[in-house]
Every structure is written in structure tokens, then in C-alpha cells.
Chain A
């Protein structure tokens, strides 16, 4: 690249890229620190269960005992324990163990079975069970003299933070997916120097609307296509509501705060009218696929996958396209943008419409997660969404901010909530902490900005002299 200025100012460019990264994604550090904190606070003995337990136990048995050892597997008949028994038997057979017996059921049933099967017990040298069942088994064993000496083995445990368990992490991501998705639209609105207070109500409207439309299309017997079309219709209506706010803001110069505050009331009321104030439950079982389903390999929920895809698209939109650049420009200085030939009204119209569509999508996901549509969904979501955007480093005065910063902001909120749940902090206290965290994030951002502007100031002076 022919670069006439890098020769004497190379290090400065590097420095400015570095400080830009810090200022754009500095909150990533906070998120990582929070994860470390909650990992330490939730460090516990973790006992595997189900398939995982079977796998580690079979491995241990194969390593420590000869294959001639007769093994008796005793577990309850719950779903998880059945998986454990079945899989353990299967794995041991594969490993070459020949004599395997299984008993499944509650303690009384187990005792009867044991007493009645004395003959086959003679070949048994080992009892395999689960961590939860072992104490009960111990007392049963002492009552049946024939097996009193046979040792019980359980799946080995390990020390591991509850926070970092795969299930919990999936849970964190799934919990925040809706807010994070809506926050994409909010970030665009705020970068364009606006605000959208209607998103929470649009979530309710969308959830009610899709449930109501599916009710029309056959309720519990509705087809997949009908559900899909109902979802599209709900998103279009929410997009139209956003577009209406955009129209008020651009053509009639109603301040964004007021226009979207009005739409917040209108949408909330409409949700109650459509649902007649009651939740709508008549939905097909397959409806929960979007909200509760997960892909089969890593078991990542579909909602989370959707969220990630949307963030990638939005990031590209904001950094690589003319539209994205115009959104920053309009938010930075509307008049200067107009005088540079940008269609300011079209840009603002776009961001509010987009915000409405994404809020509608959020409502659909919630309806799917809860398998119902109720006008109470999404209450105060706008505040969480704005918090995610602000914690993510986007300035409320417009023109600055990063889409991926918002994702980090949303996760900071999710991790704090989840961490406090795991450490048994009660709900009311959680609210206090969350409020303080939002304040802290914004303060940190202010300090950082002051630091950077100070650096720029020095640089300019150096230039001049």
C-alpha cells in the first residue's frame, strides 16, 4: 500500500489501533474476569450422571479389574439412571466382561431382587452403582449377608466449577439469546443517536400474535408451515410498528424517546387486546423447537446459533457496508451527514424498522421457549436491552459503538445473573448488584474515554510543535 504518512508515524498508528481495540472491546476483559470469579466461587465436587457416568465408570473398571470379574449393575429406574445402566452394560460387554447382571428399581424392589437371586450372585465380585444410590445400597447390602462383602464402585468424581459445566454454559447463552438478539437492533438505533423504548412491548405483541395466529391455523394441530408463516407475520407487524416510530421521528420530528414511548404503550395494549389478557397455550409440541431445541453434536441451542449468526451478519453490516457507515455518520452528526449527501431519513427509518423486526423475533423465541404467548412477556426487557448496549460500550450520544461490544455486554449481564443464582444470592439483591454493575460499566467507559482523549490531545500538540 502506498502510504505516505506511515513512515514517520508508524508506531502511532499501531498505538491508535491498540487503544481502539481496548476502547471497543475492553469489556471483554470484564466478562472474562467475571467468568473467572464465578468459576472460583462455584468450584465443587462434580459427580457425573447418565451416559457420562457410565463412560467414566466402564473405563475405570476395565483398567482396574480382570474381565472375568462378575459385575452387578444396580440403579434406580429413572430415565437418567436407566441410561447409565444400559450404557454401562453395553460398554462393559464391549470391553470383554462376560458376567453382567442388572437390577433397576427403587430400594424395596432392589432388596427383593437381591434376596431372590442368591444363586447368580455367587459369581458377582463387584457392584456398580451411581453416586446418589450408593448410600442406600450400602444399607441394603448389610441386610443381605451373601453380598455383604462385595465392594460397591461408583463413577469417579472430579473438582470442577458448576459455572463452567457445559449444561450451565448452554443455559447462560440460551437465557440471554433473546435480549442479545433484540440488542442488535437497539445498538443500531443508539449508534444512530436514537432510542427505542418499544422493544419490550413488541416482544409481548409478537409472542401473543404468533400464538393467536397458530390458534387460527389449527392450534395444537398446526403444521410447520403454518407456524413459520405465523412467525413471519408477527415479525412483519413488529417491523411495521418500528417503521411507524421511524416515520414519526423522521417526518414529523417527534423525539425518539417520545415516539417509541408511545408505541410501547400501544403495542402493550394491543397484546392484551389480542390475547384478551390471558396466556394462549394451544400450541403444537413441535413449536418449542426454536426455543428449546438444540443441534445434536455439541447440544448448542438453536436460539443461540441464531443469535450468533445474527451477530455476525450485523457486525458485517456495521463495519463493511455503506449502510453501516451511514448509521454511524447520521448518529455522529445528522446535519453534516445530510450535507454530505446521505439520505438521513431513510437511514433512521431503517434502524427503527430493524429494531422492531428483531424485537418481534425475540418475542417468537420466548413464545417457543415457554410454549405459550402471553401479554406479560418482555416486560422491562427494553431496560435490559439498553443496559446490554451501554455495558457493551456504545455511547448514548450516538456515532460510537460496536455490535460485538453489545454481545459482550449482554453476556456480562447473563453471567452476573447466572453466577448469583449459582451462589444463592436472592433475587432482590441480584437487582441491586446488576444496577451497580451497569453504573460501573458506564463509569469505566467514561474514564477510558477521558484517558484516550487525553492521549489524542498530547498527540495533536506534538504535531503542532
Chain B
């Protein structure tokens, strides 16, 4: 939080007037960054502001065209990621660089094994790993394969790795994106512990409440330039958003006035692998949020409704009629859609074009005897692109090259085309920037206004409180409680039910 010492701590890392152009693009025009010893510095900005390029320069992935980097006052130049690593620069990405089948210990030492003539010194490795985990207060078995760990635990392994190799600067890229609130808290404890040892931490995140919770200072980037760096105690949330987007924001969570109608979807006594006796209903025009800790079963509920996993019991009613949903195909045909949590693994087919991705569930309607009506397909595609304002270069652009927000919009556009009655959004705003989030909220409002029933799964509690009409809190595969009057509820109320 705020700096307890009165005098500023010594400067650890400094980047000055960094400039980096890629052919045809100026990614960073004036990048500046100052990191003090033992400081947690948040780096914020919209997608494309230049944060990742700046970070990659620091990690030796890219070489800057101009500008200088000083580490503890000494001018340095990283020609490769290994060189940066040797200087103590460690980055922990959103997607971890661990090998799932190997145990924790082997992952900790991956690429830097302690060995003599090629024979591993496991005793030494175990001892070193244990002492690091002890220092951090992490309780993990060294022999567990990484694939059996939760995402939070995997992150701990990454952090342990950083510590083992005496990192001086740790960059965390969206570290909390996949964590539950409790896991976020323990991560923060560890980050403060690391900072206490004099390590400088750069915390890259879209989640502003976390920035306010953990950072000492915040650096804002916009359009390839570093706009400013402020003490976190001397800036408020709305001012920070203004700095990021370059214009004043009126309301982070837009609310629309709408009438809720009849019950649209009703779930009775759903049971599944991780769920027991889930019952709830959602009405037309209603936005219902499902919240809870990681592993509480929110996504499992969505997958059961959608027919993606087999259910072990329970009934589903649509407009009062019992329906049988055995596969996603059945769900789609009944008018239930699921926007999956993981866009890249479960949503898009990255190798296909944006148009092909868009039309995938609708082809059978846009074809005659198996022949695709290409005129129909392309005109539907263009009208959807226009309607949702998706930014792309053309219908044949590969889905992999879209930005996160536009990928999400493309997937939403796809489900809008089905004329769905129930749309389930699983973590719809994860990893997308402030502007795109806002558009997503407007879109959900619009859908609810048009009489659709919306279910949102969110790990972002302010978001759930900000957008929904009603909140269901889940805990260990059951519904732990319901918050009917969202306007009077607080994050603490939700956490009280969730933990």
C-alpha cells in the first residue's frame, strides 16, 4: 500500500525515452518506467497502449530502437531473454510456462538443473525448493505433477522459480485473471513479502480495484506513451480511468431501465460431477450473476445447462416446458447459448477466418441440401460486424489475429444470430480493456431489454454488483445464497456467503 518510509527508496530500474517501431507501426514512442527497490508498481493502460511491448523490451524479447535502460544506476542492454534473466528480470505470464506432466520440483529447476556430469542432484534441488517455499509460506508437495495443481498453485511455482534464481525485478502479467478472491489475497500477501525483500514488482492488470489494493504507485500508458506515474494514495479510480482512456468516463457500469418478465429458464435439482441440487430460475429481461470462489462450480452449472457435460440428475424448463438437453447442439436448437470462459480453447477456432467462426453454428440454416449459401453468409456476417462494431480487416482475417475484445464481440455476435432466449456469459470481460468492457455491458443491457434472459458468471465482484439485477452466490457445488437487492449489497456481503 502506501510507502511506510518517509524517504523514497533507491531506484532499482529505470527505462527512459524508450522507442520501438515494428514495420509500419510505432508500438512505443515514449516509454518511461521507474521502479524502486521493494516497490510494487502497477502498469495500466488499454490494450494496445504499449504495455506489453515495453515489458518485452525489459525482458530482452525486443530490442528498443532508442532510449536506455538502467539497472541500479548502471546502463544495461539485453540482447536476449536469457541475458535479461541473468540480470534478474523475471516475467510471469498469464499462460504459464510450466510443463504439466513434470512434478513441481522439476519445473522449478527447468532449464537450470543442478547436475554433475548430467546426473541430477535431486537432493540439492529438493532442499533449495523447500527453503524457498518455506520463505514464501507456500505449502506444496514437490513431487506433485503440475497438471494436478490449481492455477493459483501453478502461479506459486512460477514465483518460487523467480525466487530460486534471485530475481531482482518480477513482472506479473495479469496475475489475478484466473484466481478467486481468496487466492488473490494470498497472492498479494506473497507479493508484499517479496517486496519486503527489496524485489521490485511490476504488476500489469486490467483490474483497477486490485491496483488500488496492492500497488504503491501506478504508471499509466496510452497510445505508446507513458502518460504519468502517480502515488496510488494520491489518485482516485475515476481519475485513473480518465488517464487510461484519455477522456472522462461517466459511469463504469451502465444501467438500463428494463422490465423483467416471465420465468424463461428454470433449473431444478441439477446434479453433476461437482454439483449437487442446484435450483434457480431466470426471467426474461433479467441479468442474473453467478459468483463464487474458483472451483465453486459456476462454470459447471453453465456447462450442464448447455449440455456440454453429462448431468447426473435434475430437470430443465424453458418457458415452463421441460426440455431435454443432451449436447450443445440440443441447447442451441432450444435457444440456449453459452459464451465460454476460455475464448481461445473453447470459443474460437483460431485457424479459421472470422467469417467462418461467425457462421459455424448457423450453417445448416444458411445452406440448401448441404451447399452453403455464400451470399447469405457474407451479408449476415457484414451486418453483424456493423451491428457490434467489430474491428477487423476483412472476412478472411484469421480469428487468431483479432484483439481480445474483438474476439469476444465476434463470439457474442455469433450467438445473437441464433435468436437465443437464454445467453450465458462465462467471464465475459476477462482480459479485455476498459473500453471493450463498457461495450460488453451495454450489449448485455441491450439483450436484456429485448427480453432475453442473461446469466453472467463473473469473478469480478464490483462488476457483478454493477451490472446484475440479482446475484446467486455459489459455494462448493451448491447455491449458498441469493442477493436480491443488488443496489444495497456490498462485496463483503457476497464474500460472507462465498467463503
Interface residues of A (CB under 8 A from B): 1-6, 9, 12-13, 16-17, 20, 320-323, 325-326, 328-329, 332-333, 335-343, 399-400, 456-465
Contact = CB atoms under 8 A, between A and B. Distances in A.
B393 A9 contact: yes
A3 B383 CA distance: 8
Nearest to A461: B25
B328 A339 contact: yes
Interface in B343-392: 345-352, 356, 359-361, 363-364, 367, 370-372, 374, 378-379, 382-383, 385-386, 391-392
B393 A333 contact: no
Most chain B CB neighbours (cut-off 10 Å) among A4, A336, A463: A336
27 contacts: A3-B382, A13-B396, A16-B393, A320-B371, A320-B374, A322-B364, A322-B370, A325-B363, A328-B349, A328-B351, A332-B350, A333-B346, A339-B340, A339-B346, A340-B332, A340-B360, A341-B333, A342-B360, A342-B361, A343-B327, A456-B401, A458-B24, A460-B403, A461-B48, A465-B26, A465-B27, A465-B48
A33 to B, nearest CB: 27
A1 B379 CA distance: 7
A80 B356 CA distance: 58
Contacts of A320: 371-372, 374
B52 to A, nearest CB: 10
B87 interface: no
B214 to A, nearest CB: 27
A456 B306 contact: no
Given A9-B393, A335-B346, A458-B25, A399 B352 contact: yes
Contacts of B111: none
Contacts of A465: 25-27, 48, 223-224
B114 interface: no
Contact of A322 (B349, B363, B382, B391): B363
A400 B349 CA distance: 11
A460 B363 CA distance: 28
Given A343-B329, A458-B25, A464-B403, A337 B347 contact: no
A16 B397 CA distance: 7
Nearest to A452: B398
A190 to B, nearest CB: 13
Contacts of A326: 363
B406 to A, nearest CB: 9
Contacts of B338: 339
B398 to A, nearest CB: 7
B47 interface: yes
A325 to B, nearest CB: 6
B227 interface: no
Contact of A340 (B48, B328, B371): B328
Given A1-B379, A321-B367, A336 B348 contact: yes
B47 A464 contact: yes
Contacts of B383: 2
Nearest to B339: A339
Contacts of A456: 397-398, 400-401
A336 B224 contact: no
Contacts of B308: 338-339
B394 interface: yes
Contacts of A322: 363-364, 367, 370-372
A343 B332 CA distance: 12
Interface in B16-50: 22-27, 47-48
A19 to B, nearest CB: 10
B65 to A, nearest CB: 15
B372 A329 contact: no
Contacts of A461: 22, 24-25, 27, 48
Given A322-B372, A336-B349, A464-B48, A341 B25 contact: no
Given A16-B393, A321-B372, A465-B48, A332 B352 contact: yes
Most chain A CB neighbours (cut-off 10 Å) among B26, B48, B352, B372: B352
A400 B351 contact: yes
Contact of A5 (B22, B371, B385, B401): B385
Contacts of A338: 308, 327-328
Contact of A333 (B24, B27, B345, B379): B345
Contacts of A460: 401-403
B345 A342 contact: no
Given A337-B349, A463-B391, 7 more contacts: A1-B378, A16-B397, A326-B363, A328-B352, A399-B352, A458-B24, A459-B393
A457 B25 CA distance: 10
Contacts of B370: 321-323
Contacts of B385: 4-5
Contact of A6 (B371, B394, B400): B394
A457 B397 CA distance: 12
Nearest to A10: B394
Most chain B CB neighbours (cut-off 10 Å) among A329, A399, A400: A329
Interface string B320-332: 0000000111011
Contacts of A458: 22-25
Contacts of A17: 396
A339 B47 CA distance: 28
Interface in B403-460: 403, 414
A339 B347 contact: yes
B401 A459 contact: yes
Closest 9 CB pairs of A and B: A464-B48, A13-B394, A332-B349, A399-B351, A461-B25, A4-B386, A341-B332, A456-B401, A341-B329
A17 B398 CA distance: 12
B329 A5 contact: no
Contacts of A2: 379, 382-383
Nearest to A319: B372
Contact of A329 (B26, B332, B356): B356
Contacts of A20: 396
Nearest to A15: B393
Contacts of B392: 5
Contact of B346 (A12, A336, A463, A464): A336
Contacts of B378: 1
A12 B224 CA distance: 23
Contacts of B371: 320-322
B360 A329 contact: yes
Given A322-B364, A329-B349, A339 B382 contact: no
Nearest to B367: A322
B38 to A, nearest CB: 33
B335 to A, nearest CB: 12
Nearest to A333: B349
A1 B382 contact: yes
Given A320-B372, A337-B360, A457 B346 contact: no
A424 to B, nearest CB: 44
A463 B379 contact: no
Given A5-B385, A323-B370, A332-B352, A462 B25 contact: yes
B345 A335 contact: yes
B351 A340 contact: no
A5 B47 CA distance: 21
Given A3-B382, A462-B24, A464-B47, A13 B393 contact: yes
A16 B48 CA distance: 22
A2 B375 CA distance: 11
A9 B394 contact: yes
A299 to B, nearest CB: 35
Nearest to A2: B382
A223 B116 CA distance: 77
Contacts of A9: 393-394
Contacts of A5: 382, 385-386, 392-394
Contacts of A341: 327-329, 331-333, 360-361
B239 to A, nearest CB: 24
A197 to B, nearest CB: 24
A462 B47 CA distance: 12
A325 B25 contact: no
A4 B328 CA distance: 32
